[in-house]
Structure 1
Amino acid sequence: MSQSQYVTDAESSTQTCKVAIDTHGNVFKVPDYTIKDILSAIPAECYNRNLGLSLYYVFRDIAAMVSIGYFAHVIGYPYVQNLHVAVRFVYWSLYAYVEGLFGTGLWVLAHECGHQAFSDYGAVNDFVGWVLHSYLMVPYFSWKYSHSKHHKATGHITRDMVFVPKTKEEFMESRGVLHDIDEFSEDSPIRTLIELVVQQLGGWLYYLFFNVTGQPYPDVPKWKWNHFWPSSPIFDAKDYVYILLSDLGIVTQSLVLKLWYDMFGGWSLFINWFVPYIWVNHWLVFITYMQHTDGTMPHYESDQWSFAKGAAATIDRQFGFIGPHIFHDIIETHVLHHYCSRIPFYNARPASEAIKKVMGEHYRHNDENMWVSLWKSARGCQYVDDVDSKGVYMFRNVNNVGVGTGKKKN
């Protein structure tokens, strides 16, 4: 059956709202509720922000990182220092991995600050967020402003700010092909794996420095497409001074790292900061990609988009113990976060349950192992196409996954 026939049959059987066909060949119904319906369902107490509780989580995560560091260097290392190099490699790798988990927790708390969900005091939010993000070499205000635009235009094909998918035409152009996409051969799993490794190791830095997966600005030189240039097209003119403050945070942390190197040496800096920093960058890309990339996920043209529809174009997932207890529920309650980012993470669960009753079938979640989902998304979500759904884009691919391009499988 052709993709056009899929849409025709779906529309003939579903007259209440606009529909499209997702990657798997299932009918996707465009949400028809309003943002007022969503916000009215959230209990008032969910909006309460507690500065003391928020600071507790900051100090808890810092204390965990310091304690783990003390244990690894002072208590544990004497037992492994004379063992085989492979044992020591595993020991320090595990240490850096755990430090990276709690470092990601601090990143999430700084993210709360950027949304003013940390406390009722804007100056406190920005100071704490600036300190935490600067430690992790994140330009706090720069990211805050671009991320705010992402929230205001989630799922908008020409206004969203991150993980904006290629259209069918853009995908063809990126592959250097001018003919029909059906002529593509399937990508090898090795290519997909390499692309994932590059994405996970360098995706965050590519985004900060080159606006990769963001919107293009054809009238502005590409060297300005970054989160450090005060007059970058990513920002508004009023943001200029704050971008400089973000840069000051990066410069300050660079000096701190230089002093660290001078006082304690390269190994100390490498294992205690740099490797955990790489892990934090990985987790950030992993989380964000999986929140906004799925075979059931829509994107919209301007005339089809609304805030309520865009916020629903996200997905909640599960990440075991780490998700709620170290990553502060950023994975498990992300749909709610897009509807109201001012709600602190410790109130997100009841708020999330409340909006599910309004969203009904439009609430998107997946309890599958996230590593499995990562692979499936990489294989199945290569570009978007609106087929005949008139402004509602769904993911497609050249790998014969789901509806794909309509090519026959071998």
Structure 2
Amino acid sequence: MACRLANSSFLFLGPQKRPNEGNRVVPQSSTSSGAYLLKWEILPERRSKQKKCFLSFRKHKIVKAVAVTVAPSPLDDAEHRKKICQDYGFRKIGVPLPGNVTLRDITETLPKKVFEIDDVKAWKSVLISATSYALGIFMIAKAPWYLLPLAWAWTGTAITGFFVIGHDCAHKSFSRNKLVEDIVGTLAFLPLIYPYEPWRFKHDKHHAKTNMLDEDTAWNPVYKEEFDSSPILRKAIIFGYGPFRPWMSIAHWIICHFDVKKFRPNEVNRVKISLACVFAFMAIGWPLIIYNTGIIGWIKFWLMPWLGYHFWMSTFTMVHHTAPHIPFKSSDEWNAAQAQLNGTVHCDYPSWIEILCHDINVHIPHHISPRIPSYNLRAAHQSLQENWGEYMNEATWNWRLMKTILTVCHVYHKEQNYIAFDELAPEDSRPITFLKKVMPDYA
């Protein structure tokens, strides 16, 4: 459960086979009251070109088509989408993506220029992060005590930019040189005490299994069996998925990145190199900070900005893929295109956050293709809006959005997607009822 609890603080799906072009069934318009699924019981055998003109009638199989009524999704209704937008704090909620659309279909509509690596723009992002971080350290050193929270917020956001640079390196969208990417990615992660290679291996699985039950390595809902298994564990889960959720990436960091046994044999050597770099940074960097500024200086200059980074790490990740209308699905029901386009949220943050974090929250195109560099995400998003806009979820970061995630998106339910803790165990869910009372409803 510890690993699930950690993975919940950050957590896609095996791609379905693309149907043969001649046998694709196009769904009814989303405005229709119902749809019909054409069910093929037996398909004709395929013949070679040489024999196709001499097919014997006896060799054909009979094709039997059965029309099966499929209930429309509630999200097909525009009024319903408008209402849950208001309830959840969203700006727009997309209609369900047809099941016969593939990721390749979506990717092929993107302009080729959004995949191009620009060395000047890549290194400009490094300059922005290094400069903003240096400014943050200067602010912490000079600010009076009552302005320190502002300095910590700036510096924590600035080092989140380091994470995004390493994130681009891991996706091979920073440089054409793999060695450069490995070096820059490792160095960018060091101030965060994040081992680059272990994180990269886990994050690749997140992209491959987004919102797939048990497989996604970012946020996952809780199973009712776990919630009911132990009173002590139940209370820990309630706090972890409630008030502590914006920092639950710390648990994920500890549990999922430092255990060599969690990685495949061909990954272990790279994992060990990353761990050695992190431990060397801690062994050298932390004593130097303490020697020059004392324990209080270590808290001021490293720990508080690091907690600010984890606030954004947790918050960005859960906002990207967690909402009452976005389902987690088992592997046999999962659809890659639906998970990446319908199951990912674009969220606008204040401009200074977007700049310092290199547009990582323009997140839908990143899940359509992780090879898109961060500085091209906005152009890719505009293209997706033009071609697939009706299927996309969009929000502006607000209190109601956060309140919805922290107080509703808890226990997995196949039909409802989520059941809130206070519905299942009101007597143990005082942290959730407290959040409902004190968190504003401003959207």
Same fold, TM exceeding 0.5?
yes
- Are 1:238 and 2:266 counterparts? yes
Distance 1:72 1:170 in 2: 43
Contact kept? 1:46, 1:348, Cα under 8 Å: yes
Give the counterpart of 2:115 among 43, 47, 50: 47
Contact kept? 1:318, 1:370, Cα under 8 Å: no
**1:93-132 residue pairs with structure 2 within 5 A?**
93-132=149-188
**1:1-400 residue pairs with structure 2 within 5 A?**
13-15=33-35, 20=73, 29-32=96-99, 33-70=101-138, 73=141, 76-77=142-143, 88-173=144-229, 196-201=242-247, 203-210=248-255, 226-232=256-262, 235-255=263-283, 256-312=285-341, 313-331=343-361, 333-367=362-396, 369-387=397-415, 394-399=417-422
SS of corresponding position for 2:244: helix
* RMSD, aligned α-carbons: 3.1
Deviation at 1:293, TM superposition (A): 0.9
Deviation at 1:72, TM superposition (A): 5.1
Contact kept? 1:139, 1:227, Cα under 8 Å: yes
User: Number of aligned pairs?
Assistant: 344
| Structure 2 runs not aligned, ≥5 long | 1-29, 38-69, 85-93, 425-443
Deviation at 1:16, TM superposition (A): 5.9
| Structure 1 runs not aligned, ≥5 long | 1-9, 78-87, 178-186, 211-225, 388-392, 402-410
Deviation at 1:294, TM superposition (A): 0.8
Deviation at 1:168, TM superposition (A): 4.2
Question: What TM-score, normalized by structure 2, do the two folds share?
Answer: 0.70
Contact kept? 2:122, 2:174, Cα under 8 Å: yes
Distance 1:176 1:30 in 2: 41
Distance 2:129 2:356 in 1: 8
Contact kept? 1:35, 1:307, Cα under 8 Å: yes
Going from structure 1 to structure 2, the CA distance change for 1:15 and 1:168 (only over 3 Å counts) comes to farther
Distance 1:337 1:364 in 2: 14
Contact kept? 2:359, 2:374, Cα under 8 Å: yes
Q: Deviations over 1:293-345 (max 9, x none)?
A: 111212222222122122121111111213421111111x1111111011011
Q: Deviations over 1:33-54 (max 9, x none)?
A: 1112111111000001122321
Contact kept? 1:31, 1:362, Cα under 8 Å: no
Question: What TM-score, normalized by structure 1, do the two folds share?
Answer: 0.76
Distance 2:36 2:385 in 1: 20
Q: What is the identity percentage for the equivalent residue pairs of Structure 1 and Structure 2?
A: 21
Distance 1:339 1:295 in 2: 22
Rg larger in structure? 2
Distance 2:332 2:320 in 1: 24
Deviation at 1:271, TM superposition (A): 1.3
Going from structure 1 to structure 2, the CA distance change for 1:269 and 1:246 (only over 3 Å counts) comes to same
Going from structure 1 to structure 2, the CA distance change for 1:164 and 1:49 (only over 3 Å counts) comes to same
Deviation at 1:165, TM superposition (A): 1.1
Distance 1:149 1:238 in 2: 16
Contact kept? 2:136, 2:152, Cα under 8 Å: no
Amino acid at match of 2:335: S
Contact kept? 2:242, 2:407, Cα under 8 Å: no
Amino acid at match of 1:325: I
Going from structure 1 to structure 2, the CA distance change for 1:68 and 1:11 (only over 3 Å counts) comes to closer
Contact kept? 1:58, 1:106, Cα under 8 Å: yes
Deviation at 1:197, TM superposition (A): 3.4
Deviation at 1:362, TM superposition (A): 2.0
Deviation at 1:268, TM superposition (A): 2.7
Amino acid at match of 2:414: D
Distance 1:169 1:321 in 2: 42
Distance 2:240 2:190 in 1: 30
